[in-house]
Amino acid sequence: MTTTTVDGHAADHHDAHEDHGPPKGLKRWLFSTNHKDIGTMYLVFSLIMFFIGGAMAMVIRSELAVPGLQFVHPEFFNSMTTMHALIMVFGAVMPAFVGLANWMIPLMIGAPDMALPRMNNWSFWILPVAFGILLSTLLMPGGAPASGWTMYPPLVLQTGDAFPFLIFSVHLMGISSIMGAINVIVTIINMRAPDMTLLKMPMFVWMWLITAYLLIAVMPVLAGAVTMLLTDQFFGTSFFLAAGGGDPVMFQHIFWFFGHPEVYIMILPAFGVVSEIIPTFSRKKLFGHDSMVYAGSSIAFLSFIVWAHHMFTVGMPLTGQMFFMFATMLIAVPTGVKVFNWVATMWRGAMTFETPMLFSLAFVFLFTIGGFSGLMLAIAPADIQYHDTYFVVAHFHYVLVPGSIFAIMAGAYYWLPKWTGYYYSEKLGKTHFWLSTIFVNVTFFPQHFLGLAGMPRRIPDYSTQFADFNLVSSIGAFGFGLSQLIFVLVLLTAKKGAKADDRVWEGAHGLEWTVPSPAPWHTFTTPPKARIANEAFE
């Protein structure tokens, strides 16, 4: 790469040695150091994991459709809830956002690639190994892990042969995430186009920078916690074993010190995606760009001081409860700033409602519902009633499904023409959107009522008083699952539409829209001129 600036983005002005296309066959993917190829692999991997995790959700909802034990043993049911969560969190949502980051961050900041491309290859290829190991536990004596994704001791120590494999796979997922986060930080700090100051960065890049710092701080904490579980099980330590003088509640503190920022790791990039899409389809600049950055940073900071709201019922001093309750409620302020800014961006905009915008609008509405139920759960005395009920399940699924996953879908539709060079079928996209939106609410809204009525989570059977809402929820879940097949159809027909322009969407602004569609294998081999970066920002 040269530092000489030339006119234009120079997508086709390569250094001589880079004037080649991708290698052919398997080698292209196995040894790839190209951010676009690695981004594609992340996205395909996350889609596969989404369907595997989704299939497990179908097992859960089949069993819960009517009272009584129908299809699976209770032990296997517990494995399904555990594996569903681990796969969706670490295998579907996080890799999908890393895939979007890989594809879009270099294009948005005018960099030729990620700063550490070989490490980027490692970050990705560790993941299939990690999840291969995790999924292989389904076939092991004693079954797959069944103690919940939180892996609380001493229950998790009763896992059969799967235990060391669980710990190893979680370590691998952590290593992959940390390497990915290092790459994002190093790329954004060192590879921005000339004159693209930090506050001129697109919001998706900003939210990812904050997310990467969160990952650096908390993934090692999870790794530390599971390392201690491993030594408790096999090396005679008693970090968490009461019989040996250890403290099982300490695990909960350490886990949730990781676990709460993890929630924001899954939602801040979603905020970034939505903050790119709403201005485009409102044909206005993002309202309050800088305040969005400060709000994102505030959310990240606050996420470190609220972890014990997940464990109000373990018994803690009143002052502790008060602190974690009020600190949690404080998060509503920067989150409210964001929601206000999205609405203000749309205010008097020339709005159109293509699929990415529809998913983004649904995100704003439905994520906010998840936020409100989160506020309800933050109230310590109320939480003692809600704790471990389906109200909690409803809350976090509203945050993660019409929250994170809708934002991923929005991003995929938004950037798909830039990736493939063709417009996808808007008709299929909108069908996918409407069916997903209807069924996601049919699935998860009744779970609020189940929880308030006292139905506990993580049970394969329940009292007959919960039968009706469970049946509705299961019908919704199957409808939602089947609706996602439309997305596969959209991808399979992605190159059958009209040829996409460079800018793709009329209202789109940013460096990524200055390169051809589909984006060439090498882009910005010479940095874009400052003027062009500025115009893209304007």
The residues carrying an active-site annotation are 84, 113, 149, 176-177, 260, 262, 264, 275, 309-310, 335, 338, 457
Least distance CB 254 / another protein (angstroms) = 6
CA distance linking residue 310 with residue 384, whole number of Å: 10
DSSP SS3 for 422: strand
Instruction: Figure out which of the listed residues 41, 43, 92, 228 binds another protein, where binding follows CB under 8 A.
Output: 228
Hey, which residues between 62 and 121 contact another protein (CB under 8 A)?
115-116
Closer CB to another protein, 248 or 288, in the complex? 248
Site string for another protein, 377-416 (x = CB under 8 A): ----------------------------------------
- Check binding of 254 to another protein (CB under 8 A): yes
- Please choose, out of 224-232, 308-316, 407-415, 461-469, the segment that lies near another protein by the rule CB under 8 A: 224-232
- Check binding of 239 to another protein (CB under 8 A): yes
- Residue 404 is classified by DSSP as I
Closer CB to another protein, 206 or 390, in the complex? 206
Instruction: Figure out which of the listed residues 16, 190, 235, 464 binds another protein, where binding follows CB under 8 A.
Output: 190
# residues near another protein by CB under 8 A: 33
Instruction: Figure out which of the listed residues 48, 129, 140, 217 binds another protein, where binding follows CB under 8 A.
Output: 217
380 and 321 in contact (C-beta within 8 Å)? yes
Residues 6+ apart with CB under 8 A from 349: 282, 283, 284
Site string for another protein, 419-458 (x = CB under 8 A): ----------------------------------------
- Residue found under tokens 């530092």: 3
Instruction: Figure out which of the listed residues 58, 129, 157, 221 binds another protein, where binding follows CB under 8 A.
Output: 221
- Check binding of 49 to another protein (CB under 8 A): no
Residues 6+ apart with CB under 8 A from 211: 97, 181, 184, 264, 265, 268, 269, 300
90 and 166 in contact (C-beta within 8 Å)? no
- Please choose, out of 45-53, 83-91, 237-245, 413-421, the segment that lies near another protein by the rule CB under 8 A: 237-245
Closest C-alpha to 487, from 424, 420, 441: 424
Residues 6+ apart with CB under 8 A from 92: 46, 47, 49, 50, 53, 405
Q: Where are the alpha helices (DSSP H) in 421-529?
A: 426-452, 467-492
CA distance linking residue 56 with residue 537, whole number of Å: 43
Instruction: Figure out which of the listed residues 189, 198, 350, 384 binds another protein, where binding follows CB under 8 A.
Output: 189
- Check binding of 305 to another protein (CB under 8 A): no
- Check binding of 520 to another protein (CB under 8 A): no
- Please choose, out of 134-142, 244-252, 335-343, 412-420, the segment that lies near another protein by the rule CB under 8 A: 244-252
- Residue found under tokens 């001791």: 153
Least distance CB 221 / another protein (angstroms) = 5
Residues 6+ apart with CB under 8 A from 203: 271, 272, 275, 276, 286, 289, 292, 293
Cα-based distances in Å from 219 to 188, 199, 202, 405, 529: 20, 27, 26, 21, 37
Least distance CB 227 / another protein (angstroms) = 6
Please give the single-letter amino acid code of residue 55: A
Hey, which residues between 125 and 184 contact another protein (CB under 8 A)?
178, 181-182
Closer CB to another protein, 126 or 504, in the complex? 126
- Check binding of 186 to another protein (CB under 8 A): yes
CA distance linking residue 489 with residue 486, whole number of Å: 5
Q: Which two tokens stand for residue 169?
A: 């796979």
Closer CB to another protein, 47 or 300, in the complex? 300
Instruction: Figure out which of the listed residues 110, 246, 269, 334 binds another protein, where binding follows CB under 8 A.
Output: 246
Please give the single-letter amino acid code of residue 214: L
Residues that bind another protein (CB under 8 A): 1-3, 115-116, 178, 181-182, 185-186, 189-191, 216-221, 223-225, 227-228, 237-239, 245-247, 250, 254, 257
